[in-house]
Structure 1
Amino acid sequence: MSTTTAVNDRLNHFVSNARIAAIGSYVPEETITNADLERLVDTNDEWIVRRTGIEVRHRAADNETTSDLAIAAVRDLLSRFPDVVAEEIDAILVATTTPERPFPSVASQVQSAIGARSAFAIDVSAACAGFVSALQLANGLLLSGTYRKVLVLGAESLTRITDYTDRSTCILFGDGAGAVLLETANEGSFLAANADTDGSGGMHVYCDPGAKIVQNGREVYKWALTVVPSGVQDLLDRAGIPLEKLDWLVPHSANLRMIEAICERLDLPLDKALQSVVLNGNTSAASIPLALDAAYREGKLATGQLMALYGFGSGLTRSGLLLRWTL
């Protein structure tokens, strides 16, 4: 059996018993406006909005770590969903590329802070595809029968690794965290999944130890516009669902103009795309849960709605998930 055949066989037999049972988020109080950036590099508000759609981003305080952001997002979840008991959480997966230290993991800091005494805790490193990748991994844990409640987070402090002398990248990145709780269900709401990595493109977005983010935006843009629309269509094809039945597309919020182009290639109305980039910037692994929670707070989401989550970024890695909303 060829590698391609094996991958297709694996994805064509996708099974789920996971449902989203709770959600929370957090962004730091301090902001970086476009006017702030005008004082740092040769740019202006009109140029930034025209190129990216971003109006403001949030920046973690000097004494605020990625773990702090993640913990705040989970505490928001627990406060809004009082039926969730931290001690009953079996596993914690944190998608992040910006842990404050190599170890212990951000997930272990979350586990300690919330009192999830029996939880297995690990970090997942897949950059902007990290949150959706972590959801897929969490589904596998639930299917094993050993775990019944899995906390999945995306948390980033990207402003700490942003080069504020590079006008092409410093306008993009912000900090934040989002969390969802997955529970076992008799009939899972995850309908289809796909994922792959093209490591040959890894140097288009990278960060060396102790250095700043380096990005070839043109190449990443070209890659994303090739793989994301086809990836979303693949999810729908696997589930046997036509595009017109899709209620929401939730892509990684890298750039509003990129989201517009993805929707255009899919022939999907832009108002069916949920994003967090305008008010948060590019928050990598946190962008999709931030977009979901913003829509949930605004009353846009309803139980049973069909949505496609699609993360994509450094690696070059992409990860997609088609699901029914269950809150």
Structure 2
Amino acid sequence: MSKIVSTGSYLPADIVTNTQLVEQTGIDSSDEWISQRTGIKQRHFASADESLAHIASKAVENALERYGQDIRDEINLIVLATMSSHNPTPAVASQVQDILGIKETWAFDISGACAGFVMATEVAEKISRDYTSGYTLVIGAEKMSSILDFSDRSTSILFGDGAGAVLIQNDGQGLPNYRSELSSIPDRKDSIVVDPESDETDKMTMSGHDVFNFVVRKIIPSLSRFIQREASDFDYLLSHQANERLVGIMVDKLEIDVEKAPVNIDRTANTSAASIPILWDELIQDGTLKLQGSQKVVLTGFGGGLSWGHVTFDI
């Protein structure tokens, strides 16, 4: 079977606490208000000269360094999930390819907002079955600060920048015990939108209330059915880090041990498509996840579209 052989992540150096964010933006909020409603204490913001491709490349370089082998010319496929790219072309994945000095590969982006990394995992896992050797890179990367309206309290407090990367060694058979379920429904209320036609060009708007209801009414029941059918013996649930309260509700509804659904949103905020791979890498680094073939994980992402996805496999 194919297997995941390394992970990496990158968080920009600039850490902004809730108090600093309120002071810098002048929004009507406070550390207590943000912490109680979201669980967020701080977030990382990239500098003005730090591009999205740079952020993504740092996560990949981290993963390659840990793998300890120079396999850049053996990478067959790069799939990158993001919602914060401002350039229609070239793809951020292609820019990462250039930065890393990978001579030839198939590289493309997926736009699925906060469900993007699960979508990228699904696409990469299916395509990589065509390769009997070499490697696949799956990346989630966001520079959310570039699409935030910092006068809008409903979004500016929630998001941060960062990237995570997963390296798969291909053998033509796919990941062990891989199962998936992905879907989308029309977002007729424009719950999550970056509208280039608006007065605030390329700035994000979001209805937190609508998204919250979407997760509670649609995503959690869907995830519950998926786990019962495909992964009743899972070890860890790696959920998109949208809101600590939402993860708490998810744990309660699924009736699982809270330790099976780790969170890091207090330190990273919501990094959209990057949240799952950043969390995953942190769990690898602290020894919770081993990459030894003995643990089953469930990944769940949900967001713009409205889209969602659940995947499970052994790592």
Instruction: Tell me the TM-score normalized by structure 1.
Output: 0.89
> Match for 1:225 among 216, 221, 230?
216
Aligned twin of 1:318:
308
Q: Is the 8 A contact 1:18 1:190 kept in 2?
A: no
> Match for 1:32 among 9, 13, 16?
16
- Residues 62-101 of structure 1: CA distance to partner in whole angstroms, max 9, x if unpaired? 1001000001111111111112511100011110111242
Match of 1:159, as an amino acid?
A: S
CA gap 1:117/1:146 in 2 versus in 1, 3 angstroms: farther
**Structure 2 CA distance for aligned equivalents of residues 95 and 74 of structure 1:** 13
Match of 1:276, as an amino acid?
A: N
Q: Is the 8 A contact 2:77 2:128 kept in 1?
A: no
Residues 1:234 and 2:225 aligned together:
yes
CA gap 1:79/1:202 in 2 versus in 1, 3 angstroms: farther
* SS at structure 2 position matched to 1:165: coil
Q: How does 1:281-292 map to 2 (within 5 A)?
A: 281-292=269-280
Match of 1:35, as an amino acid?
A: T
> Match for 1:208 among 178, 184, 195?
195
- Residues 172-203 of structure 1: CA distance to partner in whole angstroms, max 9, x if unpaired? 01000000012224573242100000113461
CA shift for structure 1 position 229: 2.3
CA shift for structure 1 position 247: 1.2
**Structure 2 CA distance for aligned equivalents of residues 145 and 23 of structure 1:** 20
CA shift for structure 1 position 301: 1.0
Match of 1:29, as an amino acid?
A: A
CA shift for structure 1 position 142: 1.6
* SS at structure 2 position matched to 1:122: strand
Residues 1:265 and 2:256 aligned together:
no
**Structure 2 CA distance for aligned equivalents of residues 213 and 187 of structure 1:** 36
* SS at structure 2 position matched to 1:91: strand
> Match for 1:278 among 241, 266, 272?
266
CA gap 1:238/1:128 in 2 versus in 1, 3 angstroms: same
Match of 2:150, as an amino acid?
A: Y
CA gap 1:163/1:305 in 2 versus in 1, 3 angstroms: same
Residues 1:309 and 2:293 aligned together:
no
* SS at structure 2 position matched to 1:152: strand
CA shift for structure 1 position 117: 1.3
**Identity over the aligned pairs, expressed in percent?**
35
* SS at structure 2 position matched to 1:200: coil
**Structure 2 CA distance for aligned equivalents of residues 261 and 295 of structure 1:** 22
* SS at structure 1 position matched to 2:280: helix
Instruction: Tell me the TM-score normalized by structure 2.
Output: 0.92
Task: State the superposition RMSD in angstroms.
Answer: 1.7
* SS at structure 2 position matched to 1:150: strand
Aligned twin of 2:102:
116
- Residues 12-64 of structure 1: CA distance to partner in whole angstroms, max 9, x if unpaired? xxxxx542121101010012210112212111111111000001000010100
* SS at structure 1 position matched to 2:19: helix
**Structure 1 CA distance for aligned equivalents of residues 95 and 63 of structure 2:** 16
Q: Is the 8 A contact 2:6 2:168 kept in 1?
A: yes
CA shift for structure 1 position 166: 1.4
- Residues 96-152 of structure 1: CA distance to partner in whole angstroms, max 9, x if unpaired? 111242211110111111122121110111111111100100111122347742101
Aligned twin of 1:70:
56
Match of 1:264, as an amino acid?
A: D
Q: How does 1:5-154 map to 2 (within 5 A)?
A: 17-39=1-23, 40-145=26-131, 148-154=134-140
**Structure 2 CA distance for aligned equivalents of residues 30 and 230 of structure 1:** 38
Gapped regions of structure 1 (runs ≥ 5): 1-16
CA shift for structure 1 position 270: 1.8
Gapped regions of structure 2 (runs ≥ 5): none
* SS at structure 2 position matched to 1:299: coil
Q: Is the 8 A contact 2:115 2:303 kept in 1?
A: yes
